[in-house]
Each structure stands twice: as structure tokens, then as C-alpha cells.
Structure 1
Amino acid sequence: MNSPMTTWGVGDYPLMAHHLQSAAIAAVDAAAVEPGDRVVDIATGTVNAALLAAERGCRVVGIDFETELLRLAEERALGTGSDIEWLWGDLEALLPPDQSADVVLSVFGAMYAAEHVIAARELARVAAAGARVVLASWAPGSVLPTMGQILNAYLPPPPIGSGPPSRWGDPAALASMLEPHRLRLTATSSGRVTLRFLHPKRRPTSWLAPRATL
């Protein structure tokens, strides 16, 4: 595996886990996971969603392309006693076989795929018939996408994309990516995550969690 070369592989990204926990809970709840469900958490990152699904009795596979995040994910899971399979993998070439997941999750992850259409195709490929696909993404115009633009000059670059990541937080744009791959957008919900900085002022940033079915 290669050394981490992007924003997510440097610094102390796991500190974000606490801030993003509420979005992960909302995504796992929306997926209505049940014991025994086969769950694939794509771009698992802070592993919040993977751990929640494992705690609810699911068989979980966590996938990320940052080797450092996968190492930290495994350490965090061991600390909770959760049994999760960790896989290194690209968003555009996922390792799980066709129709191997009852639930596909991605909390602020799939949106960063370099080629959005290919990533959408991969989501659909690993989803079994009747699977639930739940994605949490930053909403267009919210604080995190704007902050990313400001910090880009000071951080290793994210993958070059076919469009802004917040496109995944636009229901109409997301539906246009999913529907060609037989994923039907059935519902969306929105929420806010409050990020606390050293400055006393706090700024909420918005996210969208759509649900799709195959």
C-alpha cells in the first residue's frame, strides 16, 4: 500500500469523529440496519458508521483508500471489541463482489470520488436487490465545502474530481447520478453539524443524507 498523500492522511483527522457522530447516527438509522445485515461502509474515514452498524449486530466491511485511516480504524474498532473487516480500496473499484451488501453507507466519503458517475456505479454494483443505500454529504454552500476551498493551498490535494463534492448533497444532481444505475432516490433528510474552534464563535455546517434503494 502507498503512504497517505491526501488531506485525510495527515494531521489528526480522527478528531473529526466526535463532530460527525450525529450524522453517522442519522445515516445508520435511515438505513434501518438489522442484525445480520451485510453492511459496506465506503470511505469509512472516522469509522463512526461502521462501528454503529457493528454494534447493532451487522456484518460490516469498512473500505478506505487512506492506509493511515485504515490503521486508525482498526485500532479504534479493537478498542470497542467490534469485529469489522477492513479493506483498502478505491471508490471507483470497490473490492466487495457484486450484490454483496444489504446496506451501503458512506458518511462524507463517496462525495470525494474523482469520477462521480463511476463511484455511483460501484455503489449500485455492490448493493444486493432491495439494498438500502444511505449517503451523508455536505450541502452546497455550507461551511465545510467553503473551508476546503480556503485551506486547499495549505494541504495535500484531494483527488481531482469530475465535479464539486457537494454535488452529492444536491438531491437533483445526486438522482441524476444514481438513476442510470438503477438506484432510486426515495428520501432525503438534512441536519447540521456544529464545529467548535478556538474562537468562541461557532459555525454550523449543513449536510444532506439521502436514501436510495436498488
Structure 2
Amino acid sequence: MRVVIADDAPLIREGVARLLTENGVEVVDEAGDAETLLASVRDLSPDVALVDIRMPPTHTDEGLRAAREIRSRYPGTAVLVLSQHLEPDYALRLVEEKPERVGYLMKERVGRVQQLLDALQRVAGGECVVDRAVVDELLAQRRRADPIAELTSREREILALMAEGRSNRGISRTLWLSPKTVETHIRGAFAKLGITEAPEDNRRVLAVLAYLRR
């Protein structure tokens, strides 16, 4: 397997290159910036480009933009991003366009050389590899963006009955629950929806509106 390594930190770049070489990977070039990386991929057609996100000149997303350009212009080269920072939005932008021959790993979570070798082999073979920490954060973001997703099935059921205009007593009779249990579920739903400081009737309306907008 032929690999190009792109990282603006020479010690990291050279260290990774040495580890890969010692384990049978051919490191065909090393790049300290996105422009050099793109030229290397163009001229050498490596199997995989191992890329850091933050590179010169601004140290923001140059590596990510280079990775996306590689995927667009040089589809024969797989891309594995190895980042020091947990940036799930970047990972999503990289992966969602075409979830194959691409990966995103956290440097601090690659504890063994074999993990990196395995990820390189997998993306070179056409797979998509994403660090579990990135997946967890993306799911957490989705839950934060959609509080309805946080509700239990019982809380959703009660909100649906509230949307039909049922009182707590009516909900209690319909679901064969005690009024106290219904009130507990309603308070839980209000808390998850961020509806805490309002008169009871207004809170019911706000909760129903949140449910109907889902």
C-alpha cells in the first residue's frame, strides 16, 4: 500500500512515516501543507492520503478542504483524516458526500499502530471508517437539536393525547395510568422540551406545538 502523509508538524509527520514504513507501508511522500499534498496526490497517485485537518496557512480547515478535493478530483486515492480535534461537523461534511474510501480518526484514540494500519487498509479497500467519538458526538448533537427524540414512548403517547385536547384525567383513563403517573410523565416531557417557566395551560400548548412540529 502506497501512502502520502500530510501534517504540518514535522515530528508527527516523520514519526507516523517511520511507524508505517516499519510495518510494510510504502510512504511515497510527506507534505506540510495542503498545496504540497494535492501536488503529491496528483503526481504520485497513492492508495491513501493520510491527512491532518488543520494546516497552513490559517490552521483551520485547509486539510479538510484538500481531502474533499482529493475525493472529487482523484477518486482512486482514499482519504483518512487523522485529527487532533473532535470536529464532528467536519467529519460529516467529509463523509456524507460519498461514504466510501474515506475515514476520520482521532489521533489521541489511535493507541496502537495496528489500529492505524487497519484503518488504512479498510479505506483503501473501499470502506468508510469513523471514530466512535465522532459518531457519539453527532448523535448527541442530533438529540440536542431535536428534543422530541429525547422523549420516551410513553411521554410521546401522552403528548399525542394532549394534542387531541385530553385533560390529565382523560389521559389517565385512556392509558389506564394513575393521575399522579400521568403528571410525572408530563413534567418529564416539559423538562426535556425546555418548557419550565410558564403557567400550566401555556406549558401544555407549548408542548403540543413542539410535538406537532416534529
Quickly name the TM-score band, shorter chain normalised.
0.3 to 0.5
Query: TM-score, normalised to structure 1's length?
Result: 0.37
Larger relative contact order (C-alpha < 8 A, sep ≥ 6)?
1
Higher helix share: 2
Max radius of gyration: which structure?
2
Higher strand share: 1
